[in-house]
Amino acid sequence: MSVSPSTMAAVRASGAVPQAEYLLNAENVRKEFPGVLALDNVQFRLKRGTVHALMGENGAGKSTLMKILAGIYIPDQGEVYLKGLPIRLKSPLDALENGIAMIHQELNLMPFMTVAENIWIRREPKNSFGFVDHGKMYEMTAELFKRLNISLDPESQVRDLSVANRQMVEIAKAVSYESDVLIMDEPTSALTEREVEHLFQIIRDLRAQGIGIVYITHKMNELFEIADEFSVFRDGRFIGTHASTDVTRDDIIKMMVGREITQMFPKEIVPIGDVVLSVKDLSLKRVFRDVSFDVRAGEILGIAGLVGSGRSNVAETIFGVTPATTGTISINGTPVKINTPTQAIAHGMAFLTEDRKDTGCLLILDVLENMQIAVLQDRFVKYGFVAEKQIAKACKTMSDTLRIKTPNLQETVENLSGGNQQKVLIGRWLLTNPKILILDEPTRGIDVGAKAEIHRLISQLAKTGVAVIMISSEMPEVLGMSDRIMVMHEGRVTGFLDREEATQVKVMELASK
Amino acid sequence: MTSEPVTAKTTTPTLTPKSRRRLPPEVNILLVLVGIALIFEILGWIFAGQSFLMNFQRLRIIILQVSVIGIIAVGVTQVIITGGVDLSSGSVVGMTAMIAASFAQSSTWARPVYPALTDLPFFIPIGVGLGIGLLAGIVNGWLIAYTKIPPFIATLGMMVSARGVAKWYTKGQPVSGLTDQFNFIGTGIWPVVVFLLVALIFHVALRYTRYGKFTYAIGANAQAARVSGIDIEKHLIKVYAIAGLLAGLAGIVTAARAQTAQAGMGVTYELDAIAAAVIGGTSLTGGVGRITGTVIGAIILGVMISGFTFLRVDAYYQEIIKGVIIVAAVIVDVYRQKKRKV
């Protein structure tokens, strides 16, 4: 039925393979996990020398399909064809040796080794004594970088590189395997505008060399900018493949959610009250300087700026994660000292962090345990004992209000989709009845439907008089949700824009000045 | 050849939440315990011509031997749930046994450590012992929480130093001639009562109190716990202090049982305690573990040692087998983690 990878390699080497229509295609693929049908008879067809985007909400099956193509999962049914020949991949290494390379969202590099060592690991050039020939290795790396137009020192350690540069190393590594297929999972999620431009240039070069690129993204603009074709998935089913020139943004959203989203940013205009949080000349050594702003009850203050502008650091400092070097924070007009998150919470603050996995979820614990953890600081506890029934009831109500999709509160959070994990974390903070809510990238990596729900929720909270600070890299989100926008650049506030005057161009000007 | 099995497979309905309800993880461990006991029972009839289980004296010894390790393991379990480890408990047992015993000597004894402090009421040596254990635990916790050194290193240091204190305290001489009042806690079924009481208290603490919820949260994701307002440093000190306190209690029980204290008491107890926790399902990566599991884990260890002795297995082999079992328990844990992830 299917050909083993070694046979495949032999057949390829013999040159007996006719030019297939597709570089890589999957037909009638089905994959089931306990309790979930992740892929239901889907197809995927990648043409040579094209960028093919995979679109769909979280849980639509993109990741599962991608992992099947990269040899991480083995499909229950269906066939994968590489250049027209059926192939059954047993492991990621197997895939790599057959010319399919995957660049993960979490980059898989060894931080304490050099760039060159990372690229040629397992295939190091050896000298006549059988030792690694570092000189040759650096040469090979330099050559590779030249071909890809990457300017990086092959001898630098990976831990000293920025996320963008690490990604370049990963891409170079994939190319060094003479890969025909490159799978990229949301490669731009942590890159600045300029870095994205560079990445796209490299992708275009690779495409011109005949490499097929599978590109997973949540960002619609990228689709139009870089992709030739795209396939949409929904609830584990294949919806369709189209050329990206044939459709509009709305068409794609319709395909992804199966319904029309009329209003993406249901911002309600609500009366704005007194100043709740006032930050004056806040500085954190070598990170940001002289940040001053006020947030009023009912107001949504958006903070925009490029990655690395210090936006998240300001939030962390206000919340006591990294206490300020100088400056004052006042709540309701009274200066307060906030050196730990515990103190911040006691002052009615809540902080939804940027990184769900690292600083948000207790992944191995269940929904209830995740939701209750912050509120237990001062409520639902008597003589040290937790009022189990009351807290379970409160969490259930919260879970229903937020429409968290989970079989029950005893489900491990790890098994929830990104959007639902985010809702659990929002629930964790709402249980504390915050007066000041700081949201750092509240909808990152979340599907369109859940995004709209979270936006609606933020609006509702503002309506009840909560002062909201929302940091976001997504321009439409910042413009659509904020009453006022504070823009940062390289650790300084470069300006404020009112809702009426704010445009994408004005924000970008301030963010890069 | 036919397509029947395939279609049968594809029509498997998606599981409903109800059918996914899991049995408590202790059930598996309990089954392992029963299995091991039955194996010894059968081997007993084959090789020794007598019953392994139907021997009250043997069961009593098993449970008594388990008690001291069990008391320590209850503390160690909590440490491991936070993602740490405590290597110092065995040495703390030795140290507290020596110091507590020195305050429990009878005036009839010829050479007491403190000739002026003999025939003290039982609560003084016990209080001193608990205090010493608590102090050792606080030092461990403080080092880990504030200097950020790995728990392995901090408690390794305490392991070496506490053993040093135990030896230095009387220049290696045993402390004997303890009062009957003090020895009472080591007689009869009392060590078992202490063990079960400790287990019950901390079972409740872990499951139903804020202390417990925070302990699991720190083990699951310390950074997230911190952002959620948990004072991680303070909490870690609490957990290590409790582990130290329980090691101190184990030291008192050990001295009282032996009616004497020696500097070498408690050697490798920390490893047995960690083994009991791990066999009982506590995950070394943190966030997972229960006291009930640890209690069963400790009993499994006790049954095996007793069983091997009963079958006249050479003591050297016993140690080799014990090592294999501990590693096997961790392999099972790693396997469980992996299965959960996919």
- In the block, residue with structure tokens 């392999």: B331
Identify the weakest region by mean pLDDT among A136-145, A261-270, B110-119, B151-160: A261-270
Confirm or reject contact between A385 and chain B (CB < 8 A).
yes
User: What's the half-sphere exposure (Cβ side, CA atoms, 13 Å) at B222?
Assistant: 14
Q: Is B213 on the interface with A (CB under 8 A)?
A: yes
Average pLDDT over residues B147-171: 95
Confidence of residue A222 (pLDDT cuts 50, 70, 90): confident
Q: Among partner residues A30, A35, A384, which is closest to B15 by beta-carbon distance?
A: A35
pLDDT at residue B1, as a whole number? 38
Per mean pLDDT, which range of A346-350, B85-89, B198-202, B311-315 is the poorest?
Answer: B311-315
Examine the pLDDT at B206 and tell me if it is beyond 70: yes
pLDDT in tens, A159-217: 888 888 888 898 888 888 888 999 998 888 777 778 888 889 989 998 998 899 999 88
Under the banding of pLDDT at 50, 70 and 90, the label for residue B226 is very high
pLDDT in tens, A239-268: 999 998 888 877 887 787 665 544 566 778
pLDDT at A47 over 50: yes
Query: For A383-389, what is the mean pLDDT?
Result: 87
Count the Cβ atoms, other than its own, within 10 Å of residue B67.
27
Q: Are A428 and B228 an interchain contact pair (Cβ–Cβ within 8 Å)? A: yes
- pLDDT value at position A130? 87
B-facing residues of A in 305-334 (CB < 8 A) are 319, 321
Model confidence band, residue B54 (pLDDT cutoffs 50, 70, 90): confident
Q: Which among B210, B221, B229 has the least Cβ separation from residue A362?
A: B221
Interface test with B, best of A364, A430, A438, A439 (most B CBs within 10 A): A364
Count of CB atoms situated within 10 Å of the CB of B265: 26
The verdict on a CB contact (< 8 Å) between A321 and B221 is no
Helix (H, G, I), strand (E, B) or coil at A433: coil
- Cβ–Cβ gap B341/A414 under 8 Å: yes
Boundaries of every domain in chain B:
66-270+283-290
> Which 3 state secondary structure label does DSSP give A167?
helix
Q: Is the pLDDT of residue B19 over 60?
A: no
Cβ of residue B209 closer than 8 Å to a chain A Cβ: yes
Please check the confidence at residue A465 and state whether its pLDDT lies above 80: yes
Q: What is the DSSP letter of B114?
A: S
Residue with tokens 């990206």: A244
Angle between helices B190-208 and B291-310 (to 10 degrees): 150
pLDDT score at B340: 57
Q: How far is A358 from chain B (nearest CA, A)?
A: 7
Q: Which residue has the higher pLDDT, A362 or B325?
A: A362
Q: How far is CA A380 from CA A376, A387, A389, B51, B226, in A?
A: 6, 5, 9, 52, 19
- What is the band of B4 on the pLDDT scale with cuts at 50, 70, 90? very low
- pLDDT for residue A14: 58
Q: What is the pLDDT of residue A212?
A: 93
- Model confidence at B14, in pLDDT bands (50, 70, 90)? very low
Mutate to test the interface with B, among A316, A370, A375, A376 (most CBs of B within 10 A): A376
Provide the pLDDT for residue B5.
Answer: 39
The Cα of B241 is separated from the nearest Cα of chain A by a number of Å equal to 18
CA distance A362 to chain B (A): 5
- pLDDT of A388: 87
Confidence at residue A370, expressed as pLDDT on a 0 to 100 scale: 93
The answer to whether A340 faces chain B, any CB pair under 8 Å, is yes
Q: Are B281 and B29 in contact (CB under 8 A)?
A: yes
Interval A294-352: pLDDT, tens: 999 999 999 988 777 889 999 999 999 999 999 999 999 899 999 999 999 999 999 99
CA diameter of chain A: 79
Q: What is the mean pLDDT of residues A16-37?
A: 78
Instruction: Determine contact: B2 vs chain A, CB below 8 A.
Output: no
Q: Which domains does chain A have, with CATH numbers?
A: 5-99+179-257 (3.40.50.300), 263-348+434-513 (3.40.50.300), 361-433 (no CATH)
> Is residue B140 over pLDDT 80?
yes
Helix and strand numbers, DSSP H then E, in chain A: 17, 22
Interface ipTM:
0.80
pLDDT of A22 above 70: yes
Question: Quick one: pLDDT at residue B139?
Answer: 97
A373, B230: Cβ pair inside 8 Å? yes
Ramachandran class of A495: left when φ > 0, alpha when ψ lies in -120 to 50, beta otherwise: left
- CB-based contact, B340 to chain A, within 8 Å: yes
- Residues 6+ away with beta carbon under 8 Å from A452: A261, A263, A264, A266
pLDDT higher than 90, residue B57: no
More confident residue, B291 or A504: B291
Segment A473-496 mean pLDDT: 88
Instruction: Give the whole-angstrom CA distance, residue A79 versus residue A87.
Output: 7
> A374 — contact with chain B (CB < 8 Å)?
yes
CA-based nearest residue in chain B for residue A408: B17
Q: What pLDDT sits at residue A471?
A: 93
DSSP A296: E
* Residues of B with Cβ-Cβ distance to A39 under 8 angstroms: none
What is the sign of the dihedral through the CA atoms of B312, B313, B318 and B322?
Answer: negative
Write out the DSSP string of A311-342: HHHHHHHHTTSS--SEEEEEETTEEE---SHH
pLDDT surpassing 70 at residue A58: no
| A360 reaches B (C-beta below 8 A) | yes
From first CA to last CA, the distance across chain B in angstroms is: 30
- Closest approach of chain B CAs to the CA of A359, in angstroms? 4
Integer Rg of chain B from CA: 22
Amino acid identity at A124:
E
- pLDDT for the residue numbered A420: 85
